Amino acid sequence: MNSTVIALLYIVSSVFFIRGIKLLGKTATARKGNQISAIGMAIAVVTVMIQKEVMGSWSSNIMANGYFYIIVAIALGSLIGAIWANRVQMTGMPELVALFNGFGGLSSLLVALSQYVYESSNAIAHDLITGISLGLTIAIGAIAFTGSIVAWGKLSGKMFKKPFNVPAKNQLNGFVAVLGLVAIGFYAISTNVYGGMVAVLFATGLFLLLGFTITITIGGGDMPVVISLLNSLSGIAAAFAGFTINNTVLVVAGCLVGASGLILTLIMCKAMNKSLLALLFATASGAKKSQAAGEAKEPKAASVEDAYLVLEAASSVVFIPGYGMAVAQAQHAVKELAEKLEQNGCEVNFAIHPVAGRMPGHMNVLLAEADVAYEQLKTMDEMNPQMANQDVAIVIGANDVVNPAALDDESSPIYGMPIINAFEARTVFVLKRGKGTGFSGIENPLFTNDNTLMIYGDAKNTISSLASEFDDD
């Protein structure tokens, strides 16, 4: 096909992506935006199929026909992707996104390797810029791949669960990165086929290792940042793959994803009051045992019946969900209780911290799944000014995001992180599986406040029995 037509079709495709992302950012149009971006993708795929390089692979012998393999590969990938997308539980969303992202990164890595094999087996010389971009595609694709796999393992609880301490992590990572970049530089300037191959393989191995060692030390609570950063990286990898094979739509779409992912990452960092660098380069912190002994107050426990009596009299209740709600799969029970409360004439809201859960917006998705209307989902900034007027705050499996130590205890590791001011509500119920400090290992003074009552046990059971108390009347 005429190269002008190809270029025009790629421009159309890029416009669909841009428009799609724009619409994806507004609640009312988000679904349409996603569909528009999918159309852009379809246009891009059809376009590459009629490009002359691809058409050159046509053959009347089906086993030698490039299209045959391409169609089989697309069919296989579509099938697997569709099955996973339909089967996943909403609570499993973070790990699925991490896994998909890892595949995208690995795919870019393989594109670079395949391009390299083509060039070397046909003795095609590369110029400096395409050489460097091929190397960077390998580097970023490899980091996105192994990083995402580690994130997937941590999130699904299958692997790498414990923050793992790599000795002299930063020095080691720095060394690996420099070595890998040297290998890429060597490949980019070398004309020696054998040397080039060694350099490419060496760089691939090193950056696969680097993706692993960077993410393995990062704990589950910081995953929202890690996932959105890895998402950004897989976009950048696609953009560099575009430089490598000289394709505009890859550069545009990849870079759009890279930039938007980076913005999302920075929003998440801000919500945790951590700098991105501190998060990536902090050596596995573990629990700081800085808590002053002495004022060891015991948290007060309450029964479901006690809690019911308070809730029945309440005229405003705010739920503050955290990762524990996802673990307990309690979102449907929460919705049921919220309905009961509303029937009882109570105003119900949900206050959602930007980094509650394991991916950005995790809680919103779970509550949406349970049919909670999105007007009831309030951000931290919307809810905090009204918190003192709330009769009851129910904290479900959240810990750090309601920890008042972030406001006033300078020795606390999370000091300075913006929190939901649950402690200002007249009564606070904290639903928790058991005593203990939770994932981050940080003491939470909220639990020992005078207006706080702890309800221990499985969050789903607790909420369900609270809801059924309302039925008994």
Query: Which are the catalytic amino acids?
Result: 400
Helix (H, G, I), strand (E, B) or coil at 392: strand
Strand ranges of the sheet holding 427-432, from the earlier edge strand across to the other edge: 377-379, 347-352, 316-321, 392-396, 427-432, 452-456
Cβ proximity to another protein, 18 vs 182, nearer residue: 18
Task: Using DSSP bridges, classify how beta strands 452-456 and 316-321 pair: parallel, antiparallel or unpaired.
Answer: unpaired
Candidate ranges 40-48, 278-286, 297-305, 413-421; the one touching another protein (CB under 8 A): 40-48
**Residue 204 backbone dihedrals phi, psi, to 5 degrees:** -55, -50
Of 6, 9, 95, 107, the residue at the interface with another protein (CB under 8 A) is: 107
Interaction pattern, residues 120-149, with another protein; x per rule: CB under 8 A: -x-----x-xx-------------------
- Neighbour tally for 464: CB within 10 Å: 18
Stretch that binds another protein, among 90-98, 183-191, 306-314, 321-329 (CB under 8 A): 90-98
Secondary structure (3-state) at 142: helix
Q: Which of positions 392-451 make contact with another protein (CB under 8 A)?
A: none
| Residue of 264, 330, 446, 455 interacting with another protein (CB under 8 A) | 264
Considering only the stretches 88-96, 291-299, 434-442, 452-460, report the one whose residues sit in contact with another protein under the rule CB under 8 A: 88-96
Q: Which two tokens mark 164?
A: 């793992």
Q: How far is the CB of 367 from another protein (least distance, A)?
A: 9
Minimum distance of another protein from residue 433's CB (angstroms): 24
Concatenating the DSSP letter of every residue in 427-451 gives EEEEEESSSS-TTTT---GGGGSTT
From residue 290 to residue 329, the character string flagging contacts with another protein as x (rule: CB under 8 A) and all else as - is ----------------------------------------
Closest distance of CB 48 from another protein, Å: 5
Binding of another protein at residue 189 (CB under 8 A)?
A: no
Backbone angles phi, psi at 182, to 5 degrees: -60, -40
Select the span of 17-25, 202-210, 332-340, 417-425 touching another protein (CB under 8 A): 17-25
193 binds another protein (CB under 8 A): no
Q: Residue 338 CA to chain centroid, in angstroms? A: 28
In the list 354, 413, 418, 445, the residue contacting another protein (rule: CB under 8 A) is 354
Phi, psi (deg, nearest 5) at residue 126: -105, 155
Give min distance, CB of 409 to another protein, in A. Answer: 26
Which residue of 123, 292, 293, 375 would you call a contact of another protein, by CB under 8 A? Answer: 375
429 has which bridge partners? 394, 453
Amino acid at 244: T
Bridge partners (DSSP) listed for residue 260:
none
208 binds another protein (CB under 8 A): no
Helices (H), ranges, 50-168: 52-55, 66-87, 93-121, 128-156
Q: What is the largest CA-CA distance in the chain?
A: 84
Q: Least CB distance from residue 135 to another protein, whole Å?
A: 14
C-alpha distances in Å from residue 197, one per residue of 176, 192, 204: 19, 9, 11
Closer to another protein by CB, 311 or 377: give it.
377
Report if residue 1 touches another protein, rule: CB under 8 A.
no
Tell me if residue 426 falls in helix, strand or coil: coil
Q: Which of 154, 362, 432, 460 binds another protein (CB under 8 A)?
A: 362
